[in-house]
Amino acid sequence: ASQIAMTARRQQEEFAVWNNSIAAKLNELRSKIMQARHTADGIRLSMTSKNDGGSCVRTYQPSHLEPSTMSSVVLTYAISSQQRDALLFYLPSSSSEDFIAVEMVNRKMRFVWNVGGGPGEVTHPLHIQTAGDLSNDQHWYRVEAERISNVGRLSVRPQVLPDGSPLASGTPVTNASAPGS
Per-residue model confidence as pLDDT tens digits over 62-73: 666 667 788 888
pLDDT of residue 108: 92
Whether 160 has a pLDDT exceeding 90, the answer reads no
pLDDT greater at residue 42 or residue 144: 144
Tell me phi and psi for residue 177, to 5 degrees: -90, -175
Q: Is 75 exposed, middle or buried (0-12, 13-18, 19+ CB in 10 A)?
A: middle
pLDDT band at 55 (very low <50, low <70, confident <90, very high): low
The second-level CATH assignment, the architecture, of 70-176 is Sandwich (2.60)
Is there a contact between 138 and 162 (Cβ–Cβ < 8 Å)? no
CA angle 148, 149, 150 (to 5 degrees): 105
In the chain, what percentage of residues exceed pLDDT 70? Answer: 71
pLDDT of residue 181: 42
User: How far is it between the farthest Cα atoms of the chain?
Assistant: 91
Using DSSP's 3-state secondary structure scheme, residue 88 falls into strand
Distances (CA, A) of 134 to 19, 79, 103, 130, 172: 55, 8, 19, 9, 25
Find the range with the poorest average confidence among 93-102, 119-128, 159-168.
159-168
Q: What whole-number distance in Å separates Cα of residue 175 and Cα of residue 111? A: 10
Tell me phi and psi for residue 167, to 5 degrees: -80, -5
The number of angstroms, rounded, from the C-alpha of 85 to the middle of its chain's C-alpha atoms is 22
pLDDT of residue 70: 84
